[in-house]
Amino acid sequence: MNEHVIISETPFVDVEFQRSELEAKGVDVEVRDTHTEAAVAEAAADADALVVDVHTPVTANALEGAGSLQLIARAGTGFDNVDVGAAADHDVHVTNAPDYCTDEVATHALSLLLACRRRIPAADRDVRRGEWSWETERPVRRVTGSTLGLVSFGRIARRLVDHVDGFDLDLLVYDPYVDEEVVEEYGGQLVDFPELLAASDAVSIHAPLTEETRGLVDADAFEQMAEHAVLVNVGRGGIVDEDALAVALENREIAAAGLDVLEEEPPGETPLRGLENVVITPHSGWQSLEAHDDLNRTIARQLEQALAGEKPDHAIDPEPWT
């Protein structure tokens, strides 16, 4: 009997590429909508491997009936929608693609930062309305020589540091899980969260969504930030309290925000949409043709390794999650 891979219905996975890689090895590939817990449970009972996206709820309940399941491959970097501990209880590897879009997301963070700091979207809207006055966008502050605060200091934040080389920025980092020496190698200073908020002209969020980071940037955080500060979030939406952010933007407690992630995606009713001093993109920071190809090659490699009885290259250590 051929091994069976179920791919969650998602635009991120090139199904034909996966079929070309796997079917020659005797693996059946099926595409199925698995965006409910019940659908995931059915797929987990049927498949030897699942390929899932950020909207696939891989819960402990969904894995209760897992039979020959060997792998859950997350088509992306974050895996907060997968219960890694429950998967480990069933001897199932969980993998992600940790570096397929590192450059893209770092570039996107810088793009949001510059768009907010230079007030480019507002200027563009003014011109499209028939206006032509540079004064309406004042005050604009110089980027060079300012202070950038980074919340979490993983691959993407470090790549962002490479991208801003030449702006002569002071770099502050808040990350309880990184060594001070690592931050200093990149020319930064490791500080606590309140110090980062108070001293930064721009704060860029790169953290995963965990119980520690959920709601981390709240009303109290905005009160500690400078009125001219810009907030950028390319991490996860739940890290920022969006109601508090809307109030802070409306009251000019901070100058602007650039968001690639929101608490609800796509968003429902949110006051953020109506604000002139926020730039929102549809969780597209990962996107490039090259990143899409890299993602699919990484997924195929994890599937081939797991189905051959090997530990996949990007198997996530379950210990912190059990």
List, by residue number, the catalytic residues. 236, 265, 283
CA distance 203 to 172: 9
Q: What is the 3-state secondary structure (H, E, C) of 288-309?
A: CHHHHHHHHHHHHHHHHHHHCC
| Cis peptide leading into residue 271 (ω within 30°) | no
CA distance 312 to 295: 15
Site of tokens 């595409």: 31
Tokens encoding 89: 């209880």
Tokens encoding 268: 């429902």
On whether the CB atoms of residues 8 and 33 are closer than 8 A, the answer is: yes
Q: Name the packing angle between helices 289-307 and 15-22 (round to 10°).
A: 30
Nearest alpha carbon to residue 196 among 161, 228, 149: 149
Tokens encoding 90: 């069933």
